Copies of this chain bind each other. A is one copy, B any other.
Amino acid sequence: VVRAAIAYIDDRGLPELTMRRLAATLGVEAMSLYKHVSGRDNLLDTVVESVVDELSGDPQVQLEPESDWQDYLRRLAHGLRRIALDHPQIFPLIATRPPAAPWIRPPLRSLNWIEAFLSSLRSQGFTDSQTVAAYKAFTSFLLGHLLLEVAHYGAPIGPEETRREGDGLPLGDLKGYPTVRALAQQLSTNTAAQEFESSLENLLGRLAAIRSGKP
């Protein structure tokens, strides 16, 4: 039911999703969707929830962390990154939809994952306030990085057009922006994978510092 919506957004894009069109791809005649879901907004919320829960099916991310916390956070971060890259059209929705409670932060989002995150850290030497600080830093890092990575090649892909690396450079329009022009090549090459790794390691180091002392 909701799987069809995910598939639809994945290859037609969010703005193309329409109750009538979605119903059409399901063979069903139109607005009998309202028997299964209570409106468009509700449908989108369900889509977000369902995509986030793909984490549960990810063998690389186990819910109960018996290894150390750094390893657990690394696997969790990579699991979320995989989701973002699998659904570049949906991820901004995960980031943007207002959460039920103000402290439920994207992209972790579900109480199951937040509970796992918090209890894992707390059981491994983090005090309460250190755990909360780690949660906030972790979500903030993931959101910023993944949103930008996904936007790099995800968002502007329309139904028919495709883009190549280094494409869309308005080199002629860069008069007056000499530095931008000089660095255009490096700016447009996608190094997101390495950035993700090094930023993640930096964050883990920062959390380790938080754990053993200062805040």
Q: Give me the interface of A with B, judged by CB distance under 8 Å.
A: 92, 95-96, 98-103, 105-106, 111, 114-115, 118-119, 122, 128-129, 131-133, 135-137, 139-145, 147-148, 151-153, 155-156, 163, 167-170, 174, 176-180, 182-184, 186-188, 191, 195, 199, 202, 206
Is the beta-carbon distance between A100 and B144 smaller than 8 angstroms?
no
Q: How far is the CA of A183 from the CA of B169 in the complex (A)?
A: 48
Per a CB cutoff under 8 Å, which of B92, B135, B145, B151 touches A187? B135
Taking the closest CB of chain B, its distance from the CB of A130, in whole angstroms, is: 10
Contacts of A141 in B (CB 8 A): 140, 144
Complex: A72 Cα to B102 Cα, angstroms: 32
Q: Considering only CB atoms, which chain B residue lies closest to A131 in the complex?
A: B183
Q: A132-B183, A136-B195, A140-B199 are in contact. Are A102 and B148 (CB under 8 A)?
A: no
